[in-house]
Amino acid sequence: MRYLGAVPKDEFASKLQSLLGLAETENSEAATKDTPKDLFSQLSPTLINQLADAKPTTFPDASKILGTYLETVLNQPAKADQDEDPNANASAADNSIRQLLLSGRTPATLDTQQAIAHLDQGERNRYNQLNNEVNGVAITHPGAPPRAMILQDRAQPVEPVIFKRGVPGNRGDRVPRRFLQVLEMVDQGQPFKNGSGRLELAKAIASPKNPLTARVLVNRIWQHQFGEGLVRSPSDFGIRGERPTHPELLDYLAKRFIDGGWSIKKLQKEIMLSKTWQQSSRMRSDAFEADPENRLLWHMPRRRLEFEPLRDRLLVAANQLDEKIGGRSVKIHEEAKRRAIYAYIDREDLPGLLANFDLPSPDASRAQRSETTVPQQALYLMNSPFVLQQAKKLSADSLTGSAPFPEKEINTQRVRKMYHQALSRDPQPDELAMALQFTDSANVNAFRDKLKQQAADNPPPAWTYGYGGWVDGSVSFETFPFYNGNSWQFSGELPHPQYQYLHLTAAGGHTGSAKNLSPIRRWTAPANGTYRINGKLNHPAEQGDGVTALLVQSDKGLLEQWTAHHKETPTVVQEIQIQKGQHLYLIVHLNENTGWDSFHWSVSIERLAQKLQTVNTEQQKLNAEQQAGFTPSHWDSAADFSSNSSLQQSSQTENILDPWTQLAQALLLSNEFAFVD
Cα separation of 508 and 638, whole Å?
A: 9
Distance CA(600)–CA(536), nearest Å, equals: 8
Spatial CA neighbour of 216 closest among 241, 262, 250, 184? 250
Cβ(97)–Cβ(73) under 8 Å?
Answer: yes
Q: Are 511 and 588 in contact (CB under 8 A)?
A: yes
Residue 373 has pLDDT above 50, yes or no: yes
Residue 326: which pLDDT band, with cuts at 50, 70 and 90?
Answer: confident
Least confident of 7-16, 86-95, 488-497, 647-656: 647-656
Give 78's contacts (C-beta < 8 A, 6+ positions apart). 95, 98
Average pLDDT rounded to a whole number, residues 495-499: 79
What confidence score (pLDDT) does residue 84 get? Answer: 47
Q: Which helix (H) or strand (E) is 138 found in, with range?
A: helix 121-140
- CATH 3.30.160 assigned to domain 462-610+617-641? The reply is no
Helix/strand/coil for 7? coil
Max CA-CA distance within the chain?
120
- Cis peptide preceding 495, ω within 30 of 0: yes
Task: Say yes or no to pLDDT of 90 above 80.
Answer: no
pLDDT tens readout for residues 12-45:
888 777 777 655 554 444 444 455 545 555 667 7
* For range 185-195, the mean pLDDT: 86
pTM for the model stands at 0.58
Helix/strand/coil (H/E/C) assignment for every residue in 427-444: CCHHHHHHHHHHCCHHHH
With residue 378 as reference, give the H or E element that holds it: helix 375-383
| Whole-angstrom distance, CA of residue 179 vs CA of residue 162 | 16
Write the Ramachandran bin of 544: left for phi over 0, alpha for psi from -120 to 50, otherwise beta: left
Q: What amino acid occupies position 143?
A: G
**Cα(105)–Cα(593) distance, integer angstroms:** 31
**Among 176-185, 214-223, 295-304, the least confident range:** 176-185
What end-to-end distance do the CA atoms of the chain give, in Å? Answer: 86
Predicted pLDDT at 344: 87
For 116-120, 223-227, 232-236, 457-461, which range has the lowest pLDDT when averaged over its residues? Answer: 457-461
Q: Where are the domains of the chain?
A: 2-103, 170-205, 211-301, 305-460+647-677, 462-610+617-641
Tell me, what DSSP letter sits at residue 330? B
Give start and end residues of each alpha helix (H) in 55-111.
Answer: 59-75, 88-103
- How many C-beta neighbours within 10 Å does residue 245 have? 17
284-318 residue pLDDT tens: 999 999 999 999 999 999 999 999 999 999 999 99
Cα–Cα dist 305/342, whole Å: 18
**Cα 256 from Cα 262, distance rounded (Å):** 9
The DSSP line for 334-373 is TT--B-GGGB---TTS--HHHHHTTPPPTTS--SS-----
Is the predicted pLDDT of residue 402 greater than 60, yes or no?
Answer: no
Question: How far is the CA of 238 from the CAs of 189, 234, 255, 557, in angstroms?
Answer: 20, 10, 20, 74
Residues recorded for the chain: 677
Average pLDDT in the chain: 84
CB atoms within 10 A of CB 264: 13
Q: Give the mean model confidence (pLDDT) for residues 485-503.
A: 85
In the structure, what pLDDT confidence band is assigned to residue 82 with cuts at 50, 70 and 90?
A: very low
Q: Give the residue among 336, 373, 366, 371 at the shortest CA–CA distance from 351.
A: 336
State the pLDDT confidence band at 615, using cuts at 50, 70 and 90: very low
pLDDT bracket for residue 455 (50, 70, 90):
low
